[in-house]
A and B are shown apart, each in its own frame.
Chain A
Amino acid sequence: MSQSVTPEDRRKLWEAMRVPVFSFVALLMFLAGLVGLGWLMPGRTASFIEAGLTLCMILTVLLFSMEVREESSLAKFYSFLGFCWLSILLCMTMVDYLTR
């Protein structure tokens, strides 16, 4: 029995894949931005923009690819808890290095 894509299928598939495709395009665009900046403006000034673009990419993966927006509040909490704790490690250690 051969299988083919019926119009009904096509609609359902497109419905389902809208968010992943959007996320894919967004990530590639942010990547292009990063690559562009890295290539054209090497040096410290671009760092903040690059950090911002990276943050956008992280949020896109979390919220859209990993569907955190639709998860339970518990999963949402756990998905962000790690980043909070990472920031404790980074910030408090840097308190030492920045004040030596």
Chain B
Amino acid sequence: MRAEAASIIGAPVGIETHEQFSNPAQQKHAAELGMWAWLLTELLLFGGLFLIALVLRYQYPDSVHAAALHLKFWIGAANTAILICSSLTMSGAIMLSRLGGQRWMVRCMLATAALGSLFLVLKGYEWFADWQEHMTPFLPGPYALEGDAQSRLFVNLYFVTTALHGLHLTTGVAILLGLTWMAKQPDFLVKHQNRIEIYGLYWHFIDLIWIMAFAVLYVVGR
């Protein structure tokens, strides 16, 4: 029960059990394990791209170096910082969901979505700048590193990786907004507190993949 009428936390929190489960603890455990299993598959999905990055760096170190110098290092770094901030706000949402602070939880979720969208805006700008500098070899038109055919491979890999990550982030923001709308309903934390935690795992994972991608594409061996 509410400790104080004016407290921002302390609302009741719980899970409504679905039919196939015998108790809420079982449902919680299942949902958590399910999300980890999903994240496992996401890691292996990106894994193929990390493999290609490794192979290209091994086979054509100079071409990769030349291509990497054209990447927008500072935008990449800023984006990494943005996602790290969004992880903080997402953690805030999770903690508030546990403590029963619905209003502030919703605010944290919106902040997270806003930061995620900011990332996408910067990314879009970055891609536009790449196109302007003729660093889009997969599109028709001039290519800045024309003489170095192998550099195309790394640049294209960069686009594939960041596009796939961007797709996950876009989907993530969309789901987050949907979840936020649901989270505003009065009974949400009593029935579905679990959902915030499970979603939070996914959000942190998007951050994790970006950290790996940033390091592999922008940083190592620059």
List the interface of chain A (C-beta within 8 A of B).
1-6, 8-9, 12-13, 16-17, 19-21, 23-24, 27-28, 31, 34-35, 37-39, 42-44, 47, 50-51, 53-54, 57-58, 61-62, 65-66, 71-72, 74-75, 78-79, 81-83, 85-86, 89-90, 93-94, 97-98
Contact status B47-A31, CB under 8 Å: no
**CA A17 to CA B6, docked complex, whole Å:** 21
- On whether A83 and B43 interact (CB within 8 A), knowing A34-B215, A61-B207, the answer reads yes
B105 to chain A, nearest CB (A): 12
Q: Give the residue of B33, B77, B208 whose beta carbon is less than 8 angstroms from that of A61.
A: B208
Stretch in B15-23, B78-86, B138-146, B180-188 with 4+ CB within 8 Å of A: B78-86
A-B contact pairs, 22 of them (CB 8 A): A1-B5, A2-B6, A13-B96, A13-B99, A17-B95, A23-B87, A23-B88, A28-B81, A34-B214, A34-B219, A35-B77, A38-B218, A42-B222, A51-B220, A54-B212, A57-B211, A61-B204, A75-B33, A82-B40, A85-B44, A85-B47, A89-B51
A5 touches B8 (CB 8 A): yes
Known: A34-B215, A39-B73, A90-B54. A24 touches B87 (CB 8 A): yes
Most chain A beta-carbon neighbours within 10 Å: one of B36, B69, B73: B36
Query: Is B77 touching A23 in the complex (CB atoms < 8 A)?
Result: no
A-B interface pairs (CB < 8 A), number: 152
Distance between Cα atoms of A53 and B219 in the complex (Å): 11
Interface residue tally for chain B (C-beta within 8 Å): 58
Q: Are B4 and A72 in contact (CB under 8 A)?
A: no
Top 7 A-B pairs ranked by shortest CB distance?
A20-B91, A16-B95, A54-B215, A82-B43, A82-B40, A78-B36, A24-B88
Q: Which residues of B contact A51 (CB under 8 A)?
A: 215, 220
Contact B205 A66 (CB under 8 A): yes
| Shortest CB distance A73–B (Å) | 11
Interface of B is mostly: helix
In the complex, besides A8-B7, A61-B211, A75-B33, 5 extra interface pairs with C-beta distance below 8 angstroms are A5-B8, A8-B3, A31-B81, A54-B220, A78-B33
Binding site for A on B (CB under 8 A): 3-10, 29, 32-33, 36-37, 39-41, 43-44, 47-48, 50-51, 54-55, 58-59, 61, 69, 73, 77, 80-81, 84-85, 87-88, 91-92, 95-96, 98-99, 101, 103, 201, 204-205, 207-208, 211-212, 214-215, 218-222
Instruction: For the complex formed, measure the closest distance between the CB of A9 and the CB atoms of chain B, giving whole angstroms.
Output: 5
Q: Which B residue sits closest to A86, measured CB to CB?
A: B47
Query: A9, A21, A37, A54: which contacts B8 (Cβ < 8 A)?
Result: A9
Q: A79-B36, A93-B51 are in contact. Are A58 and B81 (CB under 8 A)?
A: no
Contact call A78/B37, Cβ cutoff below 8 A: yes
Nearest-Cβ distance from residue A22 to partner chain B, whole angstroms? 10
Q: Does A65 lie within 8 Å of B211, measured CB to CB?
A: no
Q: Which of A21, A24, A39, A58 interacts with B208 by CB under 8 Å?
A: A58
